[in-house]
Amino acid sequence: MRIDVLSLFPNMFAPMHQSIVGKAIERGKLDFQVTDFRDYTTNKHNNVDDYPFGGGAGMLLTAQPIFDAIDHIEQEAGQRGHVILMDPAGRKFDHKVAQELAGYDHLTFIAGHYEGYDERIRELVDEELSLGDYVLTGGELGAMVMIDATVRFLPEVLGNQASANTDSFEDGLLEYPQYTRPAEFRGRAVPDVLLSGNHAKIAEWRLKESLRRTYLRRPDLLTNRTLTAQERDLLDDIKSEIEEG
């Protein structure tokens, strides 16, 4: 996969060369490029923003540098790819969106700054994405989060691909509690079932604890979920246990 980012602050993306994303780059699984679109401005003062027509607060990113930067990336990569505009008004990014993005061969993120964009910039993009209902100083942090979440789904990026398949949200539930050695630490013991070797019982315990954690922390995730008969029975048990204290 190739991922390009258009940003006025390319140095902000240094952390992307660490951890899982960095390993993906080293292994040749990811071609990651950051373009300072200020380099493409034809303005004699090297400006990339200007006042909005009609007045108003703040400055808008101008269309010309971003259009030219996208054209250059298209020529270099041989394709424009899937272009994403970072914008608070965009579709909310989540686990499923990360999976969708991982299916593309080439992604280009436009990380803006200032008050907003010249509306014509939106003609370049395939979709607009947002981390949530709040505003950041710029789109760089949001783009980094989305890239990190997306790269985890690329083949052979994680040491154990099963890790991605058992993460929270993968099946619509929060992930169950997990433990490692020692079996007892400061009087706190690992649940006996996890030491039993009974894989059927372990699977049932994990499902129940996923349901419990989701019910207590994110009940909204259960609202539109069609529960299996087993899940309904386990959830009833959980509610009874909570009521009994």
- Given 38, 52, 68, 88, which residue is catalytic? 88
- In the annotation, is 152 catalytic? yes
Q: 55 a known binding residue?
A: no
30 belongs to an annotated ligand binding site = no
167 is catalytic: yes
Token pair listed for 30? 């990811």
Find out whether 134 is annotated in a ligand binding site.
Answer: yes
Which is catalytic among the residues 2, 152, 209, 212? 152
Q: How many CB atoms lie within 10 A of CB 148?
A: 15
User: Of the listed 68, 94, 115, 127, which one is catalytic?
Assistant: 115
Catalytic hit among 94, 118, 148, 167: 167
103 has binding-site annotation: no
What one-character-per-residue DSSP string does 168-225 give? TTTTSSPPPP---S-SEETTEEPPGGGGS--HHHHHHHHHHHHHHHHHHH-THHHHT-
Is-contact 45 174, C-beta < 8 A?
no
Write b or e for each residue in 163-185: b if 16 or more Cβ atoms lie within 10 A of its Cβ, otherwise e. ebeeebbeebbbbbeeeeeeeee
User: Which pair of structure tokens corresponds to residue 14?
Assistant: 């240094």
With vertex at residue 203, the alpha carbon angle to CA 202 and CA 207, rounded to the nearest 5 degrees, is 115
Task: Look at the alpha carbons of 194, 195, 196, 198 in this order and tell me if their dihedral is positive or negative.
Answer: positive
136 is in an annotated binding site: yes
190 is in an annotated binding site: no
Q: Is residue 15 annotated as part of the catalytic site, yes or no? A: no
Is 26 in the active site?
A: no
Is residue 135 part of an annotated ligand binding site? yes
Residues annotated catalytic, as ranges: 88, 115, 152, 167
Annotated binding site: 112, 131-136
Annotated binding site for S-adenosyl-L-methionine: 112, 131-136
